[in-house]
């Protein structure tokens, strides 16, 4: 995690996140409506949230689709573009894992059964709560 945040980089990240929130996909809207405002397990989720880190001495960031700090969980919704980005996504997931986050990837098509998707997320949260006791 970066401790030396560049104000210019923060400004860029904030604007990108705002833009992404304004133009979110229908799939992201569906999931957001179910997990926002502590509706899901009482956990606080953020959407389109920047995660800053240092990569080889250069400060940069990822934008998580959905993030729960309490669970150290990132939920990424993957559209068809991600079929071509598997290598990039794997690197991103590994970097986020090294920062202490668990990444769950959900294909947009899976959201046709929102209850199944929520069940997948629930399993992680329940397992995580047991392990922290």
* Full set of structural domains in the chain with CATH: 7-132 (3.40.960.10)
pLDDT score, position 132: 63
- What is the tens place of the pLDDT at every residue in 41-92? 999 999 999 999 887 888 889 999 999 999 999 999 987 765 667 788 888 8
How far from each other are the two terminal CA atoms of the chain, in whole angstroms?
A: 25
pLDDT the model gives residue 56: 80
In terms of pLDDT, which residue wins out, 15 or 87? 15
| pLDDT (average), residues 102-117 | 94
- What integer is the mean pLDDT of 2-7? 69
Alpha-carbon distances of 28 from 55, 62, 84, 106, 111, rounded to whole Å: 28, 17, 20, 11, 9
- How far is the C-alpha of 67 from the C-alpha of 46, rounded, in Å? 5
Cα dihedral: 97, 37, 27, 127 (round 10): 40
**What band does 128 get if pLDDT is binned at 50, 70 and 90?**
confident
List CB contacts of 112: < 8 A, sequence separation 6 or more: none
DSSP at 78:
E
Q: What is the pLDDT of residue 32?
A: 97
User: Would the pLDDT of 129 be above 90?
Assistant: no
Q: Does residue 19 or residue 60 have the better pLDDT?
A: 19
pLDDT at 1: 47
């Amino acid at each position: 995690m970066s401790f030396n945040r560049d104000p210019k980089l923060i400004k860029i990240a904030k604007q990108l996140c705002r833009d992404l929130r304004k133009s979110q996909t229908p799939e992201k809207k569906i999931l957001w409506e179910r997990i926002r405002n502590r509706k899901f397990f009482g956990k606080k989720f953020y959407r389109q949230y920047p995660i800053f880190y240092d990569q080889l001495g250069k400060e940069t960031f990822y934008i998580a689709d959905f993030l729960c700090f309490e669970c150290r969980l990132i939920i990424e919704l993957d559209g068809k573009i991600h079929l071509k980005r598997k290598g990039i996504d794997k690197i991103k997931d590994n970097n986020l894992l090294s920062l202490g986050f668990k990444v769950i990837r959900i294909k947009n098509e899976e959201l046709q059964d929102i209850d199944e998707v929520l069940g997948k997320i629930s399993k992680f949260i329940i397992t995580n709560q047991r392990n922290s006791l």
